[in-house]
A and B are shown apart, each in its own frame.
Chain A
Amino acid sequence: MHPAPSIIAFTTLSGIGFGLIIWLGLGAAPDATHLYALILCLLAAGLVCAGLLASLLHLGQPTRFLKAFSQWRTSWLSREAALAMTTLVVFALYAALWVTGTRFLPLGLFAALLAFKTVFATAMIYAQMRSVPRWRSVLTPVIFLLFALTGGALFAGVRGPTPWLLGALGLLQIVAWLWGDRALARSGTTLATATGLGEMGRPRLLEPPHTGQNYLLKEMVFVVGRRHAARLRVIGLVLAVVIPLALILPTEGRLAVWIAADVHALGALVLRWLFFAQAEHVVGLYYGKR
């Protein structure tokens, strides 16, 4: 799939923002000063809003975005939009109370639950796609949620669970790659099933329908980025998991954690880029590509 910068920025930034909302809602940073609480809340809301704005850039008709809230009964994208907005409103209320001195945890818990569901809904947009076998896995929501929780924990300065989250993220990311590299083959969709010509022999593309580019090739058959996939996987893992672990394990210093959080976010962007660039859409089969 085409790794559109707007979607990568949206899913990564808002993912970390919602992760931060989860931890702050659960009561992280208990001894934060008013100012620090304000900074954390603004960061969470800022990340989420930046992500949502980036996602608007991806639309062909952005001014009609309000219509996207209507189909929550069937569409994960609509659910995500509705959940994201509700989370923001509930969190804003919670944050306003917190920075003025009252930390009302039941409200925080509610915001955390909503944020969790939002990230889940985002991941389900991808995980529901049978047409992209690499995404159609329970690992997709698990990894999206782990990214949100890990990034959120790092930015919130949560101590105990963070190394474990980083470790689990690294491990499951590797499992997802190993599984995903064979997902297309395992899906059973081949040019033979796509054309029904399997009985006559091995089908092969003789002539594409057009000599130039088209929307389908640009959007769904992104093969350029796969050349450097192996190298990018290592770079992404080092940035998202290894360096943050090395930074936070030996020290308690706030600076080290902030740097770890930023490096992790960079790694998350690389890995999210790969999530799209490596995903094979079955329509590529009709074009002799995968």
Chain B
Amino acid sequence: MTALPASTERALGLVIDLDTCVGCHACVVACKEWNSGSSPAGPLSDTDAYGARPSGTFLNRVHTFEAVPADGRQPRVVHFPKSCLHCADAPCVTVCPTGASLKRERDGIVLVNEDDCIGCGLCAWACPYGARELDPVAGTMKKCTLCEDRIDNLALPEEDRIPACVRTCPAGARHFGDLADPESAVSRLVAERGGIDLMPEQQTRPTNKYLPPRSRDVDVLAPLLEPLPEEAGGFLGWLDRTLARL
């Protein structure tokens, strides 16, 4: 059913810390690995993988941006992982003609039922974030499942019952939890660090939040130190003056 639920019991999603992400792409690889091995719909395909024009289907990609301050300070490099944001007002769901795209009432996860998908691609057009990719081999739409086949999977050891990308991130930059519960660890993290929505003007109300990088230009020690004398005295001063005269 492509009607959106009025509300969901939980709002499972990711909180991505732009301050700690080191841009290693481990989450990209872990996501591709897990979702290629586990999916009954087959692997996320690659075409011309070892050729001149490789291209592949991914559910999570890491961009790298730099923010150039207007006042001439050093630009700041920010690694930026992006997967489906499991939006509350997901435009990708309502456009789907077949009912293959859906938002789950119990946890808010946005999924594609690939047996129903005709591969029209309309949902990928509707997503402003580029979170959906049509797999050219399967002929169906692929997107982040929030690893729904891990998070409730009792066959896995408990520490593995989180998304593959979260489990693998060496920097701890990806957090998973229920964003509808204000007391959850992720909700508190968002409140503490001022987590934001991407493209709020697109009115998708994303569940996933991004934690902005902390400022690094605050030098806490500098104001406490005595300024260095402009001219050195003693032997160094003599040397300096003599060398300057040569």
Contact = CB atoms under 8 A, between A and B. Distances in A.
B63 A220 contact: no
A33 interface: no
A209 interface: yes
Contact of A215 (B65, B70, B124): B124
Given A60-B119, A204-B66, A216-B133, A189 B98 contact: no
- Number of chain B interface residues as a range: 35 or more
Nearest to B212: A196
Interface in B107-143: 116-122, 124-130, 133-136, 138-141
Given A129-B125, A197-B212, A204-B66, A282 B202 contact: yes
Contact of A212 (B55, B75, B134, B139): B55
Given A71-B96, A75-B2, A200 B54 contact: no
A286 B56 CA distance: 18
Interface residue SS majority, chain A: mixed
Contacts of B3: 73-74
B58 A214 contact: yes
Interface in B32-80: 53-58, 61-70, 73, 75-78, 80
A58 B78 contact: no
B203 interface: yes
Contacts of A81: 97
Nearest to B213: A200
Contact of B126 (A129, A207, A286): A129
A195 B63 CA distance: 10
B82 interface: yes
A203 B75 CA distance: 9
A68 B95 CA distance: 11
B140 to A, nearest CB: 6
A132 B69 contact: no
Contacts of B68: 201-204
A206 B97 contact: no
Nearest to A126: B125
Interface residues of A, number: 59
Given A61-B117, A205-B65, A130 B91 contact: yes
Interface stretch (B158-166, B192-200, B232-240): B192-200
Contact of A70 (B99, B141, B210): B99
Contacts of A60: 117-121, 134-136, 138-141
Contacts of A148: none
A214 B118 contact: no
A281 B55 contact: no
Interface of A: 1, 58-62, 64-65, 67-71, 73-78, 81, 125, 128-132, 187-189, 191, 193-197, 199-210, 212-216, 219-220, 281-283, 286-287
9 contacts: A59-B139, A67-B118, A71-B1, A193-B199, A194-B129, A201-B73, A282-B128, A283-B127, A283-B130
Given A131-B91, A210-B58, A212-B54, 5 more contacts: A58-B120, A59-B119, A76-B95, A212-B53, A213-B55
